[in-house]
Amino acid sequence: MNAIDHTHDPEAGSWVPEADGHPDFPVQNLPFGLASVGKEDPFLATAIGDYVLDLTALAAAGLLPAPLEPVLAQHHLNGLFALPATMRRALRHGLFELLTAREHAPTVIPMLQPAGLCHLHLPFRIGDYTDFYAGIHHATNIGRQFRPATPLLDNYKHVPIAYHGRASSVRVSGHPVPRPQGQSRPASAAEPSFGPSRRLDYELELGFWITGENRLGESVPIAEAGERIGGFCLLNDWSARDLQAWEYQPLGPFLAKSFLTTVSPWVVTAEALAPFRIAQPARPAGDPAPLPYLRDERDQAEGALALRLEVFLSTERMRFARHEPHRLSAVTADQLYWTPAQMVAHQTANGCNLRPGDLLGSGTISGPARSSFGSLAELSNGGSQPLLLPDGESRCFLQDGDEITFTARAERTGYRTIGFGPCSGRVGEGGS
Ligand code: CA
């Protein structure tokens, strides 16, 4: 159970300067990540306001529950996510106490670093990465470009669709986005050719970090599946649409996706998001009910998330003119057709084992309106309607120098807003 407790009290404040008004990291959030300063060893960390707190040092100093010390000395969160959820909660409670009670300030201050001095790293050693396709408006918009009469295939409302992604090329926010090379066959050409992608796109997704492990052959019942997600992040499934269109049949995405996936560095915990669980929206009349292995009353009542996600574009010209990034879209996470728990229950239904630090992507999140579309392929209608930018530029797909940034905020009346921090990448750097 992700119970709401004193750590969610909107009146609670931290002695860390400016933390209480922070849009992402007030003391009610306490996300986990991996940070380093200069050339020194990385350390597990939490974000508090504009500071980063060294959990490895806190544990070594005996300021956190003793059983946590070995896992907080690691250079990844896999150890912590292999422990029962009670330990993750104990860590949250310990940090909350240290950061709210002023008498701890003299001890804790030496373990705080200004966030601007810290490098953030990939927080897990990712064993496996799966990307779902649960954004029904995205699936419909993309499907319509290929099959105007039947945008959604027959299976979509029955089975959570996914493919196995590439864990080795997942990187943290800020990693350069090289324009991938590949094979494509434009509609105008008779033969395929090889070269840089001309239809490079982003996909706005949520990422789910798996905690615990089910043995091979053992499925996770839907009633327990939600507990297998210990943390959340933003995820950009960079996509080369021209490569994708040529290669995807009959086995699905391959090189069009595997060149890079970007995640936000802070792991916003299931505990932090407890107040922001909401009902999964009712399915439209006429849609099939989920099969019993995907249906749980509690999951339907509180399995969705009250999250607002936004996408921003900053072009080279905009940065040169010192213009702010332009918001391309905004959408809420309850537009997903399947809950995160349904994705876990489905993936393990055949006995597939999910391990600590595995990453699941939600699929591109789009809403019904154009202002809520989560990819350029949708915003430009497959490249046929260029998107006009405020400074006179236009885009169908990403150009070199374009920087895409995702943000997410959990908002609900009566609770302090918490955020994920940015998930960014700039195209055309560090590669061909
Ligand atoms: Ca995707």
List 22, 76, 138, 175, catalytic entry: 138
Residues 198 and 299 in one domain: yes
Same domain membership, residue 175 and residue 28 = no
On whether residue 231 sits in a domain, the answer given is yes
Instruction: Let me know the angle formed at the C-alpha of 233 by 231 and 235, rounded to the nearest 5 degrees.
Output: 140
Q: Are 257 and 165 a contacting pair, CB within 8 Å?
A: yes
Residues 234 and 98 in one domain: no
Q: Which two tokens stand for residue 384?
A: 């046929």
Q: List the beta bridge partners of residue 114.
A: 51
183-227 pLDDT tens trace: 999 988 999 999 999 999 999 999 999 999 999 999 999 999 999
Whether residue 351 is found in the same domain as residue 421: yes
| Residue 169 maps to a domain | yes
Domain match, 236 and 307 both:
yes
Distance 131 CA to ligand 1 centre (A): 6
CA 203 to centroid of ligand 1, rounded, Å: 6
Same domain, 320 and 390: yes
How many angstroms is it from 331 CA to the middle of ligand 1? 16
| Alpha-helix runs per DSSP H in 321-387 | 340-348, 376-379
If asked whether residues 34 and 142 sit together in one domain, one would say no
- Distance from the alpha carbon of residue 176 to the mean position of ligand 1, in angstroms: 19
Shared-domain flag, residues 153 and 243: yes
**What tokens does 209 get?**
């970090």
Examine the fold and report which residue of 103, 121, 139 is the final residue of a domain before the chain moves on: 121
Is 309 within a domain?
A: yes
Indicate whether 315 and 227 sit together in one domain: yes
What whole-number percentage of the chain has pLDDT above 70? Answer: 99
Query: Known catalytic residue: 175?
Result: no
Residue 160's domain is classified under what CATH number? 3.90.850.10
Residue 95, CB half-sphere, CA atoms under 13 Å: how many?
34
pTM comes to 0.97
- The range of the structural domain enclosing residue 158 comes to 129-428
**Residues 116, 135: one domain?**
no
State the distance from the centre of ligand 1 to the C-alpha of 257, rounded, in angstroms: 8
Q: What's the CA-to-centroid distance between 315 and ligand 1, angstroms? A: 23
Asked if residue 292 and residue 202 are part of one domain, the reply reads yes
CA of 238 to the centre of ligand 1 (A): 8
In a domain, residue 24? The reply is yes
For CA atoms 92, 95, 99, 104, give the dihedral sign.
positive
Write down the pLDDT at residue 145: 86
Structure confidence at residue 286 (pLDDT): 96
pLDDT in tens, 141-153: 999 987 888 899 9
Query: Is residue 1 in some structural domain?
Result: no
User: Domains in the chain: how many in total?
Assistant: 2
Q: pLDDT tens for residues 166-194? A: 999 999 999 999 999 999 999 889 999 99
